A and B are shown apart, each in its own frame.
Chain A
Amino acid sequence: MDFQTILILAQDAITNSAIYALLALALILVFGVTRVIFVAQGEFVSYGALTLASLQTGVMPGTVWLLLILAFIAACMETARLLVSGARHKLPGALATILAPPLAIAALVKICTPLHLHLGWQLILTMLIVIPLGPLIYRVAFRPLADATVLVLLIAAVAVHFVLVGLGLLFFGAEGVRTPPFSDAQFTFANLNVSGQSLCVYATTIVFVAIMAWFFNKTLYGKALRAVAFNRNGARLVGITPHLAGTFSFALASAIGCLSGLLIGPITTLYYDSGFLIGLKGFVGAIVGGMASYPIAAAGALMVGFSESFSSFWLSGYKDVVVFTMIIPVLLWRSLTTAHYEEEE
């Protein structure tokens, strides 16, 4: 292996790591706030890329229908809940907040799809379709289970994963897609070709992480989300609604997933079921961070990216085996070195 190959593999590793780190961040956030191990995180990645591909060919993406159906189910559930609790007067307002945005988005997509807009607008449109799916999935699948155990929530998350993969096949078919790159630029540093898309991945990741760091450390809403993750009871006692925090964390999860899909769509071919494996690698990163620490999870994502990229060079058939086998020594090391703090009860 010469130096040139190492550089190429490393570049590949960093690009993928950036995506895994973003997904790990979403997984940790969702787990901290709602205790859901969100197996279906990766589905937003494939939904993002496939929705954009549909828009590119001028076809109404199937995810729009999913958005409408989920909104309808959520509206029914909310109606039932408000009628049972006797808060009938809140019904019109609640239904408007649940139904109006998806309907408006669907109408917008309907109008815009045949227009073959510029790529930038299509990216925004894709985000508008995919991001609301997160909060709606939370409302339909997880909010009714808010007091259930972690295991029950995990089982629900696995069910959501299967439903989303199945729907993905129904909406988009088995064909893989590759979306156009954000930029066609090519740069050469020391005999190493760097694509404009890779730079987009780096830049977006850095900007996104910076925004998140600012949000969680400087704004009261961000602090409130962290507070829910640290101490659920304490958060309720200061008036932070767990449902609100859950909705928000799922919105962030779908936003990160969709963004990741749009970023790597031009680099790898994505199928309706590719998201799962990508999400799982983000999950390995999150596990390295103990489902709690963002910086360690980012380091874990780097580890995943590098081991994946270098093992694809040496033993390409086993690259996923290598990545997932690495969890075992990491868990062993972490369980031996991490001090266990008693929760303040």
Chain B
Amino acid sequence: MAERLLTVRELNVCYGKVEALYGASLTVDRGTIVSVIGPNGAGKSTLLNALMGVLPSRGSVEFCGNDMGNVSIESRVAQGLCLVPETRELFSQMSVEDNLELGAFTRYRRGDKGIRKSLDTVFTLFPRLEQRRSQFAGSLSGGERQMLALGRALMSQPTLLMLDEPSLGLAPLIVKEILHTISDLRSTGVSILLIEQNARAALQISDYGYVLENGEIALEGPSSELADNPRVIESYLGIGGGEEKG
């Protein structure tokens, strides 16, 4: 049995009086990719933001055996949790290289000497970023921005990387490239919690999946089983089924 990395029990999040997430429980094992799929407004982004501490929540979140109850965003980053939000949140008036270096800010504070090497690793992973290293992040195309957001997250050497809709608004070819990179990351020892509307692609690269509907976990199971589940096929995989295959 693989080591438990993240254990979430009965997580509740409210926006004012509106409950966006109730009683969500999920786990992520070390070295796996777990995807959360579901329709718009199901609470997927809310879940990630709550796990990162961006949103206040009730319930228990345990990461690497530590309770994350009162922990600030910055300490979560320092402990190896990293979120790439849907909005990317890049520093658009700074260069690509500066963005990447800042990704390693907590490592720099700890006196980590391997930052240059990580920068090279990210550039090998995304050669296009190296070509544009001195350009402003704001001048990049959508796909390059997503690469930069991923690269910046990797610079922190996260234990668990949480990705919110990495394929959002990207051309199909680039989506394929990004998802390919994500599935390759698993072999480097990074665990990933992936949120996707593109359910077929998400289930293809992940080991385990959850279906989130109306703020609740409706279904869960190994990705291959979920992909064969009639309910999932009908709701999430049915329409336009063939187009993402290839």
Contact = CB atoms under 8 A, between A and B. Distances in A.
Given A230-B91, A344-B92, A220 B102 contact: yes
B228 interface: no
Contact of B108 (A220, A234, A235, A345): A220
A237 B73 contact: yes
A227 B102 contact: yes
A224 B105 contact: yes
A200 interface: no
Select the residue from B74, B87, B101 with max chain A CB neighbours within 10 A: B74
Contacts of B94: 223, 226-227, 230
Given A236-B73, A239-B77, A231 B85 contact: no
A238 interface: yes
Q: Is the interface of A mostly helix, strand, loop or mixed?
A: helix
B103 interface: yes
B83 interface: yes
B169 to A, nearest CB: 12
Contacts, number: 71
A241 B73 CA distance: 9
Contacts of B102: 220, 223-224, 227, 235, 238, 240
B93 interface: yes
A4 interface: no
Contacts of A236: 54, 73-74
A289 B74 CA distance: 32
Contact of A240 (B74, B85, B88): B74
A56 to B, nearest CB: 41
A236 B87 CA distance: 14
B78 interface: yes
Contacts of A226: 91, 94
Interface in A316-345: 344-345
A217 B93 CA distance: 12
B92 A231 contact: yes
Given A220-B108, A224-B102, A230 B77 contact: no
A311 B102 CA distance: 47
A193 interface: no
Contacts of B92: 230-231, 344
Interface in B45-98: 52, 54, 70, 72-74, 77-78, 82-83, 85, 87-94, 98
B93 A237 contact: no
A233 interface: yes
A237 B101 contact: no
Contacts of B103: 238
B74 A85 contact: no
Interface in A189-245: 220, 223-224, 226-227, 230-231, 233-241
B106 interface: yes
A227 B90 CA distance: 9
B83 A239 contact: no
A234 B89 contact: yes
A31 to B, nearest CB: 16
Contacts of B73: 236-237, 239
Nearest to A223: B98
A235 B87 CA distance: 13
B31 to A, nearest CB: 23
A240 B92 CA distance: 17
Contacts of B90: 231, 234, 344
Given A85-B70, A344-B138, A237 B89 contact: yes
B158 to A, nearest CB: 11
Contacts of A344: 87-88, 90, 92, 138
A120 interface: no
A223 B101 contact: yes
A92 interface: no
Contacts of B93: 230
A93 interface: no
Interface in B145-204: 152, 156
A238 B52 contact: no
A236 B72 CA distance: 9
Contacts of A237: 52, 73, 77, 82-83, 85, 89
A241 B109 CA distance: 11
Nearest to A217: B98
Given A86-B70, A220-B105, A239 B91 contact: no
B88 to A, nearest CB: 8
Given A85-B70, A226-B94, 9 more contacts: A220-B105, A223-B101, A231-B90, A231-B92, A235-B102, A237-B52, A237-B73, A237-B89, A239-B109
Interface of A: 85-86, 220, 223-224, 226-227, 230-231, 233-241, 344-345
Interface of B: 52, 54, 70, 72-74, 77-78, 82-83, 85, 87-94, 98, 101-103, 105-106, 108-109, 138, 152, 156
5 contacts: A220-B102, A223-B102, A230-B94, A231-B89, A239-B73
